[in-house]
Structure 1
């Protein structure tokens, strides 16, 4: 075994992230049949209740891999065409020439040119990506807001386009995945939640994973602390939150064990067919929400390691919470990590996020987890 699990190194690495300023985090790493689970820090800074590796957690945009898998299953059944214009399915949501030009594939890989709706739904984020001119007020204003997904889509569709349909680099946008949610409902005649639960979550045998029906996380979980680049000091708990602002594009609740099980089965061709998986792994350049250009497939993206081959997976954030799940292309090595603080980097005088010890500590944890 080239890089066997080093339990001591993993335990030290996860503890270092906590020491660097992360209130609490937990992880599971798999190498073949061997499994390491660990946790460090607290789930509640007021009471000191510790985090544990089995906690349920909001995993943000890792949900997109589940949504994409559900769409690919409908492609396999002949109900959706990957290269069919979205206007053929949802003419009122994406009308006219854009509906004819934007395909299902372009929504899945963020090359539709449709803008992100979030700064329009959350007015205090309107200046995004100019972080210094944003503020966290809208996060509090909308804690219990029940958003209508078609209204959110309307905000993204009517906003100025961020690119031409099919043009690269694409621009990461939640508007794309809210449209895919509507597409699933249109072709299956059921809710996207039911479709994703039946075809993906239950098919993968995930016992602690689900899409929330209200603002609460069921079962043992951590509080989620949002700092918004130092503008919320001390960071505020947003673990109770109505997730309709992202719906089934980023609201999944899961565990690190379930995430590893899901990505293991996906890469083994047990969730979608091998030919569908090959489509998911066809990448294009996309500008991420952090402004970095990454390779992105259909709800999956690759990360290269030094001489260790390619890892496939997805990351996600919500207000206060974050997660990352990755699996090596050969399926042998896996990692899922969950954290309970977000946007910990303060801004410098030019409005750019400053380096923080948590960044280096997390990078080290990922390296030890994925490459030994």
Structure 2
């Protein structure tokens, strides 16, 4: 493909991504993969170049553009070499005219920025859209961080995390045989901090209420030497089904899974009420803390969607609290930098539930900053995804 043809292809893919973002459809990665399957003539260099154009445009544009061309023009306005490819050549984009629309650039809309936690100032904005590094977590049941360092030299230890090892974002770590052998998992440092903050000890009973594919479940199993009983729950069958083979690869044998029916969670967990030493609620959220990895999430967030997330989080934190034994601990976590989803949610919970208290000293190293009843991790301050964590202790 010619460079101009690559630009036009990126514009066409951006058209689909923008429409999908507005309609709540497929994510950008899935759309890009499907677009490349439909263009089998594109070689590997073409695919890399097109992907770079698509994601550079998404990062530059703050909300869903009127068209893929408007998004690409916003990129071209800052890049004369890219602008020169709008030459009207065959298979390339038409010549740029001065009066055609450009997408608005920036981190996010002013209305969305106002929702950020007060700790997220303008100095944080640039860090929220740079490409993330690749963080690995050594699985203590199979390996150690020292062994990871030998396998992947050139990385660095992650502050406060015994098992964390950071590599450049383009590292193809999962292609290494050590991954298939269960020696490590790919897991952002923020998620590793969350699993460590829960503080599960050997022989305790733990519940991962929103386990998804089980990243934090496996981190807990690793940290406890496979000596804690863990129940991993979720309402998404496809995601939860990924946990069993992952656990087998990791050598984690004390994990059970429970697929919950939406709306029937309390009834299905009736036998677990008030029994767990530790419960983690990694609640569905805006994903605003993960914009480094999924920048198109900025295009998807609407007031109505945020309201639904906040309502679901309030239900989940109450359900999680009901599962905790007297004196036990609940960790509430969201990969969000929006105050309503973080400190606001915990403040409301503590108001509704007198007797519960917020812990103050559980994050390793110097990670996080105090944010109401919890802590906020951010890309600029902590070098990881944006994450709010709050560990709460049940009354005895």
TM bucket (normalised to shorter chain) is under 0.3
Question: TM-score normalized by structure 1?
Answer: 0.27
Q: Which has the higher contact order (CA 8 A, sep 6+)?
A: 1
Higher helix share: 2
Task: State which structure, 1 or 2, has the greater radius of gyration over its C-alpha atoms.
Answer: 2
